[in-house]
């Protein structure tokens, strides 16, 4: 397969992956918010929630997924794709990020708990991995 057709295939994967990532991220964020509120009390405003998402340790494990979504968006929106990160590199990073992580890491433990306790997350995860494993 030529590098151009490989890149085009990866670009198609990103287009299909983006809505799954957004839905997965939303479900993970909601679970993290609920967990935070159970431990610390209700979040009083959207602004405070946003501040917590950006800076509080309880949400730090989700930041790599947030950053991945930004990278996908940048690649899909690129007017000059030759000057942006390759779609293939982003697909590989997405697979690495979503694949089972090293046991015992904070991200693995949180992710595993979310998969175990929320069937929506488990379904979205399975769909994303199926797409990435192509």
What tens digit of pLDDT does each residue of 7-50 get? 888 899 999 999 999 999 999 999 999 999 999 999 999 999 99
Q: pLDDT tens, 48-88?
A: 999 999 999 999 989 989 999 999 999 999 887 676 788 99
| Interatomic CA distance for residues 95 and 48, integer angstroms | 32
> What's the pLDDT at 37?
96
Looking at per-residue confidence, does 108 or 13 come out higher?
13
The secondary structure of 23-79 as a DSSP string is HHHHHHHHHHHHHHHHHH-----HHHHHHHHHH-HHHHTTHHHHHHHHHHHHHHH-S
pTM: 0.86
């Amino acid at each position: 397969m030529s590098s151009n057709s490989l890149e085009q295939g990866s670009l198609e994967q990103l287009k299909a992956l983006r809505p799954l990532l957004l839905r997965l991220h939303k479900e993970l964020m909601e679970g993290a918010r609920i967990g935070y509120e159970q431990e610390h009390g209700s979040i009083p405003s959207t602004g405070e929630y946003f501040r917590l998402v950006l800076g509080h340790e309880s949400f730090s494990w989700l930041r790599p997924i947030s950053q991945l979504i930004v990278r996908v968006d940048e690649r899909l929106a690129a007017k000059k794709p030759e000057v942006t990160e390759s779609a293939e590199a982003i697909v590989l990073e997405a697979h690495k990020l979503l694949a089972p992580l090293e046991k015992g890491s904070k991200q693995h433990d949180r992710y595993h708990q979310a998969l175990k306790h929320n069937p929506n997350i488990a379904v979205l995860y399975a769909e994303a991995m199926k797409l990435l494993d192509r």
